[in-house]
Each structure stands twice: as C-alpha cells, then as structure tokens.
C-alpha cells in the first residue's frame, strides 16, 4: 500500500523545506524589502549597505534603466527621463494629472483606457511599469540575499487605496514577476510589526506621517482579528511641507524675493531638510546658504510646523469620530513614517492621545517588518499563527438604474472580503440586453459618482417589462479587488467582469466625495425623488400610449382623445418640472383617469380567453 504524506493547509509537505517570502513597502519616496530570519523581521540592504531604495527610475537614451540612488542623481540633469513619485499615479486617469501637475513636472501621454503615461526617450511608460521596475529591483535584492527564487511577497498599500489603485499595484507586481500573497494595508502592517496582534483585544491608532502624505487609521483587535474601523488623513501633507516652511523662512532671512529661480529653490530645500534632520537630536543648528549664515532652533521650528501638525490632529479627531471611539479607549498609538522623527510630532501626538506613542521600531522600516511577518504566515512557514485581517472599503459600490440613479449594493466601511447580491428587472417589453454600469461613491446620482466599469448581460428571453429577474452580485476579495456578475434567474444566462479600471481615487478625493455626500444630502435626495418620478412618468406614458394604439376601439372617441391629451401633458410636464411632488401628483391623476380603460382592457382579454369554451370545459380546467 502506498503511503501519502500529508500536511497542514498552506504548510510545506516537507517540514524541512522552507519557502521564501518577503514583505515589500512600495513607497512614494522610498521603498524597502524585509524578510523573517530566526523568527525576527529584518530589512535587506543593498551592496552599499543601504536599506532605503529611492522610488526613482531613470530611462537612458542608450536603453539602460537605473533604479534607486543612481537614478535620483540624474533628476536635475535629465528630469524628463527620471521618474519619481509614480505611486501617486497608480490607478489614476489623465483627468487627475491636472491636480498633480505642479508636483509632477513631466510630459504625459495616455492610452485608450485613459491611463497616464510618461513620455521618455524610451517611449511612453505607465506608472505601473515604473512601479514594476522598483519592485523588480527589490525582488532581485531579496533573491541575491537568499540565494534562491522568491515564492511570494506581501506588498503594502495605503488604507485609502481604492479598487483601481490596488489592482494597479498588483499589476505592477505581476509585471515584475512577483507572486502577490496579499495586498496589506500599511497601518495593519505597522500594528503586526509591533506584535499588537498577540494581544487579546484593544483599539490601536496608527499615525503615519511620510514625506508626501499623512494617514491616520483606527484599528480594532479582537483575539487576533484586525478590523479597520476608520481611516483618514491628508494626501498632500507630509515632511516635504516641513522642508518648504523652513526654506521659506530661510529665504525671508536672506531677504530673497518670493519668486526664486529653481536652482536656488532646490538649494534652500536641501539646506532646510538638513536643518530639520539636525534638530532631531540638537536644540539648534547652523545654516549656511550662499553668503548667508543663520541659526534655527527647535523653538523656531515649532512655530513653523505647528499649524501642519495641528492639521494632522484634526484628521485624528475625525477618524476617531468616524470609528465611534473616544480617545480614552485607544490602547496604543503607533508612529510610522520618517517625519515622525521630528520631536514636536511625537510630543503633540502623545499629548493628543494622552499616552506615550510607540517609537521603539524604526518608523521607516516598521511597515516592511509587518509585511514580512505576514508573508511568513501566508507562505506556510508559520501556519499555526495565521491572522485574520478585516479591512474595509472606503466608498460604497453600486449600480446605475433607470433615470441615472445609483443603487448602492455594498456600502462604505463594509468589512471585506464580502459578497452581496440584489435583483433588478427590465424596463421595456421584449428587452433582451441589460447594460451594467458599476459605480463607486456616496452621492445619489450616477453622474456624481466615479465610474469603475461597464459590461452587458445579453440573450435575456423577451418578456414584458418587469418580468425578467436579473441578479447582480458584487464580490470584493481580501485584497480589496472587485468582481461583478449578472445572471437572469429563469434562463440562467450569465455575464461577469473583473473590475480593472485604469484610474482610481486618492484619499483627498475620497474625503471630498464623503464631504460632498453630506453637504449635498438634501439636494441629492430631492434629485433622486425627481428622477424616480420621471422614470415612473416615462413608464406610464409609454405603457398607456401603447395600450391606446392597440385597444382604442374599447373607448369612445372623446375618451381616447382625453387620455392622449393627458399623456401629452404628462410628457410635457416631465420635461421641465423640477418639483417631484408636482410630477407625482400628475402621474397619480393620469393613473386614476386610466383606471376605467384598464378595466375594459381586462374584460376584453378575459372574453377573448373564454371565447369558444363551454362552462363545463372551464370547470374541467
């Protein structure tokens, strides 16, 4: 008898055969890769002993490609071919470039799908391709350190990344030849790195201040289950803004005009950043720029950056309110991002939460550490320590219905993975095709929400309007990626699509969409009510006109003329009326006026059905 070797699900069938997986923090400014050795996570270094890989790619005229520090050195001499901050454009469209153009001084092209592409000497390059170069470099660093090929990686993404941005990140990894074990939210990764998942329960606040963005996330931990309760922040606020404030102060001290040439502005920023970093450990620092020399103290720095820190704390208040958590209930505060090294940030955050923030891990590396620990579990090396991570979707997902309305199927802040379905029907008699328009947003009208995808359900059996039953199912997986299917219940014809749009939403856009949904709530409800009455008016006018064309002989000529005039009045009113109550009254009046005609049609149909049959035959039936 042959013997079969068995193992735990996800674990290697040969215990001594270890699989190799890493955690990757794909950052806007810098990226890192980490792995677990002897039970501890560590960041992998390059051949020069550097952990941080600048997220910069240079495309040379000779066909070469440089990634990291060597590429960043060419940013001044060859700016159009040296691409940085590509992460900001992952999952975005050309329409988003205008708001980012001042920070991304490149030439852009776009493909048919609307994805922005950088013009380089090697042709048009998408943000996905740029990110793939960075991921490939990190993967090669890991494989060189391990001496073997990687079996997979966990890649971190901001908590506010929507479906399009997550899919773009996953596509970049695929292009780099990396098997993605999981897309992990950055605040969750930080919490795992601190070992907070080993606690029984608690509320954790993750304060993440990087070079270009600020994020605050509130997580709930219950017996190893992470659940994101709320997330917020500012995608246009970070340590770079500290540098600009210091640079402006230096310019004022030097007596420079507000308009400074680019070379001088870069010099001021370099000096400002050096001064900021020096004040991390010193009470004061000397600054030398051209012929000017001055001193900057921590006290002066505090005056410059206090308004920005206060802005982050206001975002913390909003996140706690959204999570329905008071400050006293927060058990741990974790600081993430290099900008949290600024002493004033630590002090103000600790004062705000009323307890000392956790800073015992390197804020630059903590996200990569957490990703590596989770990768070790998902690859099967530590199957007994699997964690359950419950993230949420940032905005509602829905479908466009008649009248340009949105019917929400999965609401925002719903825990993922999730699957929800809802039944819809046809609008016209004999309708054999239904267009499915997938939307994301909080407003009531489809035009005010973000379009994600479109597809069609064909070969629906011809039925009367409202006869077909179309079951539309939305599924969001653990990575936050969406798939939609539509199925006609009777005939079982089906169509589905994996939603892979070419653009997505940034956190500030999500925040703005949520603000719009609140500030326009009353107007949106009125607009929805009007659209619903317009759809009802269209349906009644179309059905009654068709009935009159077919059965007008059942009425006196004057009766038929009155009904046709009433239909015409309803159609005219529908075209210019902006009050849903007025339109509803007109629809109700026409419905009542046509009741006699409907009764005569029913009697006529019954007589036709009984014609040629005796009472005995009817009784037998």
Residue 588: active-site member: no
Cis peptide before 420 (omega within 30 of 0): no
Catalytic choice (162, 208, 364, 507): 208
Asked if 180 and 23 count as a contact pair (C-beta separation under 8 A), the reply is no
| 141 within 8 A of 46, measured Cβ to Cβ | yes
Catalytic site residue from 162, 186, 240, 448: 186
Helix axis angle, 521-551 relative to 557-576, nearest 10°?
A: 160
What are 541's two structure tokens? 């006018």
Half-sphere exposure of 225 (CA within 13 A, CB side): 7
Nearest to 380 by CA among 4, 2, 14: 14
What are the backbone angles phi and psi of residue 11, rounded to the nearest 5°? -95, 160
Instruction: Give helix then strand counts, H and E, for the chain.
Output: 16, 28
State phi, psi for 176 to the nearest 5 degrees: -85, 0
Sign of CA dihedral 49, 52, 58, 63: positive
What 3-state class would DSSP assign to 497? strand
Print burial letters for 491-509: b (CB count within 10 Å at least 16), e (below 16): eebebebebbbbbbbbbbb
At CA 529, angle to CA 523 and CA 535, rounded to 5?
Answer: 135
Active site residue 208: yes
Start-to-end CA distance of the chain, whole Å, equals 66
CA atoms of 68 and 75, how far apart (whole Å):
11
Instruction: Report how far residue 569's alpha carbon sits from residue 353's, in angstroms, rounded to the nearest whole number.
Output: 63
Q: Where are the alpha helices (DSSP H) in 17-126?
A: 69-72, 97-100
Residue 87 falls in the annotated catalytic set = yes
Secondary structure of residue 299 in the 3-state scheme: helix
Q: Which of 87, 117, 170, 220 is catalytic?
A: 87
- Residue 147, by phi and psi: left (phi above 0), alpha (psi -120 to 50) or beta? left
347 contacts: CB under 8 Å, gap ≥ 6:
none
Strand-pair category, 180-185 with 152-157: parallel
> Nearest-CA neighbor of 208 among 367, 100, 13?
367
Residues 6+ apart with CB under 8 A from 191: 197, 204, 206, 219, 221, 226, 334, 370
Enter the DSSP assignment of 338.
Answer: G
Q: How far apart (Å, rounded) are the C-alpha atoms in residues 369 and 145?
A: 16
3-class DSSP state for residue 421? strand
SS3 track for 205-223: EEEEECCCCEEEEEEEEEC
DSSP assignment, residue 467? -
Q: At what angle do helices 298-323 and 343-353 cross, to 10 degrees?
A: 40
Q: Which two tokens stand for residue 502?
A: 């070419």
Catalytic residue IDs: 25, 87, 186, 208
């Amino acid at each position: 008898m042959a013997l079969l070797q068995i193992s735990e699900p996800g674990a290697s069938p040969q215990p001594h055969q270890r699989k190799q997986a890493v955690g990757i923090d794909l950052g806007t400014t810098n990226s890192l890769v980490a792995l677990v050795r002897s039970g501890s996570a560590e960041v992998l270094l390059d051949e020069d002993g550097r952990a941080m890989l600048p997220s910069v790619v240079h495309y040379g005229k000779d066909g070469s490609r440089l990634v990291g520090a060597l590429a960043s050195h060419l940013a001044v001499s060859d700016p159009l071919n040296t691409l940085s901050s590509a992460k900001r454009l992952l999952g975005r469209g050309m329409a988003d470039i205008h708001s980012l153009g001042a920070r991304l001084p490149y030439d852009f092209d776009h493909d048919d799908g609307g994805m922005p592409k950088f013009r380089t000497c090697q042709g048009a390059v998408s943000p996905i391709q740029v990110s793939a170069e960075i991921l490939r470099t990190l993967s090669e660093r890991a494989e060189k350190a391990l001496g073997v090929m990687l079996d997979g990686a966990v890649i971190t993404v901001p908590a506010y990344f929507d479906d399009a941005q997550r899919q773009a990140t996953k596509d970049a990894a695929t292009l780099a030849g990396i098997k993605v074990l999981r897309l992990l939210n950055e605040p969750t990764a930080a919490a795992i790195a601190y070992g907070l998942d080993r606690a029984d329960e608690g509320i954790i606040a993750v304060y993440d201040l990087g070079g270009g963005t600020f994020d605050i996330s509130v997580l709930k931990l219950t017996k190893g289950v992470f659940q994101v309760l709320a997330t917020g922040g500012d995608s246009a606020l970070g340590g770079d803004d500290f540098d600009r404030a210091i640079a402006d102060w230096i310019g004022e001290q030097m007596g420079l005009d507000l308009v400074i040439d680019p070379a001088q502005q870069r010099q001021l920023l370099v000096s400002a950043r050096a001064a900021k970093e020096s004040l991390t450990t010193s009470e004061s620092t000397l600054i030398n720029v051209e012929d000017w020399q001055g001193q900057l103290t921590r006290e002066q720095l505090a005056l410059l950056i206090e308004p920005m820190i206060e802005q982050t704390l206001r975002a913390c208040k909003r996140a706690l309110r959204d999570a329905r958590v008071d400050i006293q209930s927060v058990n741990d505060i974790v600081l993430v991002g290099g900008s949290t090294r600024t002493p004033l940030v630590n002090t103000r955050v600790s004062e705000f939460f009323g307890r000392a923030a956790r800073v015992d891990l390197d804020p630059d590396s903590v996200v990569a550490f957490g990703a590596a620990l989770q990768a070790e579990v998902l690859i099967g090396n530590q199957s007994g320590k699997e964690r359950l991570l419950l993230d949420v979707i940032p905005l509602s997902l829905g479908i466009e219905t008649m009248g340009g309305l949105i019917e929400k199927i999965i609401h925002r802040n719903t825990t993922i993975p999730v699957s929800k379905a809802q039944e819809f029907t046809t609008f016209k008699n004999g309708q054999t095709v239904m267009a499915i328009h997938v939307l994301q947003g909080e407003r009531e009208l489809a035009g005010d929400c973000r379009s994600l995808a479109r597809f069609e359900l064909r070969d629906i059996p011809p039925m009367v309007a409202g006869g077909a039953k179309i079951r539309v199912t939305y599924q969001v997986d653990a990575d936050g990626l969406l798939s939609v299917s539509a199925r006609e219940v009777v005939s079982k014809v089906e169509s589905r699509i994996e939603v892979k749009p070419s653009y997505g939403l940034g956190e500030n856009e999500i925040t703005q969409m949520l603000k719009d949904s609140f500030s326009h709530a009353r107007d949106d409800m009125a607009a929805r009510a009007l659209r619903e009455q317009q759809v009802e008016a269209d349906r009644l006018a179309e059905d009654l006109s068709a009935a009159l064309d077919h059965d007008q002989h059942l009425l006196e000529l004057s009766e038929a003329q009155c009904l046709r005039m009433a239909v015409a009045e309803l159609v005219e009113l529908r075209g210019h009326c902006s009050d849903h109550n007025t339109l509803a009254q007109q629809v109700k009046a026409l419905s009542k006026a046509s009741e006699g005609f409907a009764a005569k049609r029913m009697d006529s149909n019954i007589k036709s059905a009984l014609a040629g049959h005796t009472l005995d035959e009817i009784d037998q039936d």
